Amino acid sequence: MSLSTEKFAQIAKALSDPIRIKILDLIQAGYDQLGASPPVACCSGGVCVCDIQEQMNMAQSKVSYHLRELKNAGLLHETTVGKWNFYAINYTTMKLFQDELQRRYLLETETVGTNLDH
């Protein structure tokens, strides 16, 4: 399965913001590495928006904006438990984006680690 040009661009745009990359890194790290505990039992691999906000030291509205952009691009799953929202990475979309990037722009003979300074 390949991504449409529009979906591919939407994902690339969502990934173009350093704040969003940091948010994805926090979610990927999960509670085991965050030094925090979830407010309620939930969501294997998910991180509460409240903990993302605390780790990023950002206002809730700004964190919510970036999470919405990532979610709209299909990069996150959201689960609500009571008053808490948990976010987890959508690995299916990540893999589709990776495959599409490779299909569009990498030659079959190129390997990871080639010099990108050309």
3-state secondary structure of 78: strand
pLDDT tens digit string along 12-32?
A: 999 999 999 999 999 999 988
The pTM of this model reads 0.85
Q: What is residue 114's predicted lDDT score, i.e. its pLDDT?
A: 56
pLDDT at 1: 79
CA atoms within 13 A on the CB side of 19: 15
pLDDT beneath 50, residues of the chain: none
pLDDT of residue 43: 66
CB 49 within 8 A of CB 55: no
